[in-house]
Amino acid sequence: MEHVDVLIVGAGLSGIGAACHLQEECPGKSFLVLESRGAIGGTWDLFRYPGIRSDSDMFTLGYAFRPWKDSKSIADGAAIRSYIEDTAREYDVEQKIRFHHQVLSAEWSSADARWTVTARRTDTGETVHVTCSWLSACSGYYRYDEGFRPAFEGEQDFGGEVIHPQHWPEDFDATGKRIVVIGSGATAVTLVPNLAEAAEHVTMLQRTPSYIMSLPGRDPLAEWLRTKLPVKAAYPIVRWKNVLVTTAFYQFSRRFPGAARKVLRRLTEKQLPEGFDLDTHFNPPYNPWDQRLCLVPDGDLFRTLRRGQASIATGRIARFTEKGVELESGERLDADVIITATGLNLLPMGGMSLRIDGQPVDPSKTVSYKGMMLSGVPNFTLVIGYTNASWTLKADLVNRYVCRLINHLDAEGYVSATPVAPPEGGDLPFLDLASGYVQRSLGDLPKQGSRKPWRLNQNYLLDVQLMRRGPLDDEGMTFQRALPAPSTQKAVA
Ligand SMILES: Cc1cc2nc3c(=O)[nH]c(=O)nc-3n(C[C@H](O)[C@H](O)[C@H](O)COP(=O)(O)OP(=O)(O)OC[C@H]3O[C@@H](n4cnc5c(N)ncnc54)[C@H](O)[C@@H]3O)c2cc1C
């Protein structure tokens, strides 16, 4: 059976980042990337709806080790996909990717100190086994085959087309159509201005409003610095500026929710046409950052509203009708097309199951260690980015940390690293977001402890200290030598 030192699952932003870090920081290690799809890019290859773009800035969504050279701060899906592909090529990790390999399960053997990974070839149906010493799940956080789509009464009566943004039809033409977009998250606010360019009218139909903030599509500091400094010198400056600004606004929102609400309200008010019913459509019942804040580049959504190309309806759907949607208030929205921007289905670990020495692992019974490993699970990383800042900030930290850990195992003659749960247990949720897609799946996710190193900070500045400079052999981690004792006691050199 083929053996590699490290097996990475997924060739999205996180998986390619993990591969580049390994190549640079663990030069002697062999590794493979198994990817179930036929392309690099993950999210940025899957989603193809009009206008698909990042809603956090590319100077922090880009890798720390490879500058984002475009002056656009909010980039479209194709540009992000190219950036990931170019990174894989530049760091020479492309040839390590095996496409069409969906990882189904992994079994750890303590006696051999290795994982046996089972994958299914999505093109031929063949089963493939690979063994590895370290397994890194860079498989994102949601189901690829199916988005979240609640059932609506009367759906069968609707005479038009219903589309979920996760499965966008390539040949869709919005010209002259009346479109209702159900949702108020990042996808809905992206779709509305983009569809409105050609459609007769677009209505964003939301049950609950979101906080929506306009951000310059191009970063003025980046624009200025690019005339003064080489890209490599300018990139970290803009990156750190953005880290500090977003962290400061997040902290301000959590500590002073009333004041943050007022700031956001004032900013929104300035962008809306006179007489617009802000209290109904832009006044969420929750505090800023209880759910992810939506960013729109250069106020594109508000511009569409000002021009009358789009409108917002806030209310609960009673049923679909032959002609469109009827709300509980009795209001009717006629439509040729209904787009259900109703979200994602969370899927921890890309759907793979884990066993340790024959015993199944239930992730919901584990406590996460530094937001990247699971208690009782040796040599295994689960790469999940931030929910309150750019995903890659955290993924980069985790991928570097894994390299440190692997080098530490080699230097000290250990074969495995296994986190332990805190003595008091862990009962905090893994993700601190009230968003529907998170709440629907919290029960399947690991728990968090209430203190370091079992608490995920969701704060890049604190995590840099913890992950780059913090000790590897803290109270949450145990190390084992070859032929380890059955328990995961701390091995002493
Ligand atoms: C529409 C949309 C917009 C977003 N915008 C932002 C944003 O602006 N900023 C931000 O920080 N985050 C954003 N996110 C979150 C986004 O997912 C991350 O930015 C980032 O792309 C995640 O990268 P990843 O590699 O961890 O996961 P993914 O991009 O999901 O890639 C995972 C890869 O793993 C593969 N895979 C999964 N399971 C298996 C398996 N069992 N076997 C083999 N391969 C497997 C998948 O096919 C995929 O290629 C957005 C998400 C969505 C859906």
Q: Which of 131-140, 204-213, 475-484 has the lowest mean pLDDT?
A: 475-484
- Cα 139 to ligand 1 centroid, rounded to whole Å: 7
Mean pLDDT value of segment 201-210 = 96
Q: Are 389 and 4 in contact (CB under 8 A)?
A: no
- Cα 46 to ligand 1 centroid, rounded to whole Å: 9
- For the CA of 386, the nearest atom of ligand 1: 11
E strands within 293-442?
294-297, 310-314, 317-320, 324-327, 332-334, 337-340, 353-356, 359-360, 368-369, 373-374, 380-382, 416-419, 428-429
- Cα 394 to ligand 1 centroid, rounded to whole Å: 13
- Which of 69, 103, 381, 472 lies closest to 231 in space, CA to CA? 69
- Cα 89 to ligand 1 centroid, rounded to whole Å: 19
Q: Are 268 and 301 in contact (CB under 8 A)?
A: no
* Residue 241, H or E segment: helix 231-255
Q: Are 353 and 23 in contact (CB under 8 A)?
A: no
Neighbours of 322 (CB within 10 A): 10
d(CA 82, CA 72): 14
Torsion sign over Cα 229, 232, 233, 235: positive
CA distances from 464 to 235, 248, 375 (A): 18, 16, 22
* Residue 134, H or E segment: strand 127-137
Q: Are 314 and 280 in contact (CB under 8 A)?
A: yes
- Cα 43 to ligand 1 centroid, rounded to whole Å: 4
Among protein residues, the one with the nearest Cα to ligand 1's atom 37 is 139
Q: Are 447 and 429 in contact (CB under 8 A)?
A: yes
For the chain, the average pLDDT equals 94
Q: Is residue 492 predicted with pLDDT exceeding 50?
A: no
Confidence of residue 486 (pLDDT cuts 50, 70, 90): low
Main-chain dihedrals φ then ψ at residue 412, nearest 5 degrees: -100, 0
Mean pLDDT value of segment 352-373 = 96
- Cα 446 to ligand 1 centroid, rounded to whole Å: 19
Is residue 183 within 6 Å of ligand 1 at its C-beta? no
Amino acid at residue number 68: W
- Cα 85 to ligand 1 centroid, rounded to whole Å: 14
Confidence of residue 290 (pLDDT cuts 50, 70, 90): confident
In the chain, what is the straight-line distance between the N-terminal and C-terminal CA atoms, in Å?
32
Mean pLDDT value of segment 296-317 = 96
Grouping H, G, I as helix, E, B as strand and the rest as coil, residue 43 is helix
Mean pLDDT value of segment 318-338 = 97
- Sorted by sequence, the CB contacts under 8 Å of residue 460 that are 6+ apart come out as 243, 247, 386, 389, 393, 394, 397
Instruction: Label the pairing between strands 368-369 and 428-429.
Output: unpaired
d(CA 354, CA 104): 9
Is residue 80 within 6 Å of ligand 1 at its C-beta? no
pLDDT at 483: 63
- Tell me the per-residue pLDDT of 103-144, one tens digit each, with 9 for 90 and over: 999 999 999 999 999 999 999 999 999 999 999 999 999 999
Confidence of residue 491 (pLDDT cuts 50, 70, 90): very low
- For the CA of 190, the nearest atom of ligand 1: 1
Is residue 47 within 6 Å of ligand 1 at its C-beta? yes
Is residue 448 within 6 Å of ligand 1 at its C-beta? no
Is residue 54 within 6 Å of ligand 1 at its C-beta? yes
Mean pLDDT value of segment 459-488 = 86
Q: Is residue 212 predicted with pLDDT exceeding 60?
A: yes
Q: Is residue 243 predicted with pLDDT exceeding 50?
A: yes
- Sorted by sequence, the CB contacts under 8 Å of residue 234 that are 6+ apart come out as 67, 222, 225, 226, 228
Among protein residues, the one with the nearest Cα to ligand 1's atom 12 is 391
Grouping H, G, I as helix, E, B as strand and the rest as coil, residue 169 is coil
Is residue 185 within 6 Å of ligand 1 at its C-beta? no
- Cα 370 to ligand 1 centroid, rounded to whole Å: 20
Q: Are 482 and 410 in contact (CB under 8 A)?
A: no
Confidence of residue 70 (pLDDT cuts 50, 70, 90): confident
Q: Is residue 52 predicted with pLDDT exceeding 60?
A: yes
CA distances from 336 to 171, 305, 331 (A): 16, 20, 17
- For the CA of 14, the nearest atom of ligand 1: 25
Q: Is residue 485 predicted with pLDDT exceeding 60?
A: no
Pocket test for ligand 1, best of 21, 37, 43, 168 (most atoms within 8 A of CB): 43
Q: What's the DSSP call for residue 490? A: P
Q: Is residue 484 predicted with pLDDT exceeding 70?
A: no
The 3-state DSSP composition of the chain as helix, strand, coil percent (nearest 5) reads 35, 25, 45
Q: Is residue 252 predicted with pLDDT exceeding 50?
A: yes
d(CA 236, CA 241): 8
Axis-axis angle for helices 231-255, 257-271 (nearest 10): 120
Phi-psi region of 361 (alpha: psi -120 to 50; beta: other; left: phi over 0): beta
Q: Are 91 and 111 in contact (CB under 8 A)?
A: no
Is residue 128 within 6 Å of ligand 1 at its C-beta? no
Among protein residues, the one with the nearest Cα to ligand 1's atom 19 is 391
Mean pLDDT value of segment 366-393 = 95
Is residue 10 within 6 Å of ligand 1 at its C-beta? yes
Is residue 84 within 6 Å of ligand 1 at its C-beta? no
Q: Is residue 457 predicted with pLDDT exceeding 90?
A: no
Is residue 12 within 6 Å of ligand 1 at its C-beta? yes
pLDDT at 429: 85
Is residue 43 within 6 Å of ligand 1 at its C-beta? yes
- Cα 391 to ligand 1 centroid, rounded to whole Å: 9
Q: Is residue 187 predicted with pLDDT exceeding 50?
A: yes
- Helices and strands, counts by H and E, the chain: 13, 25
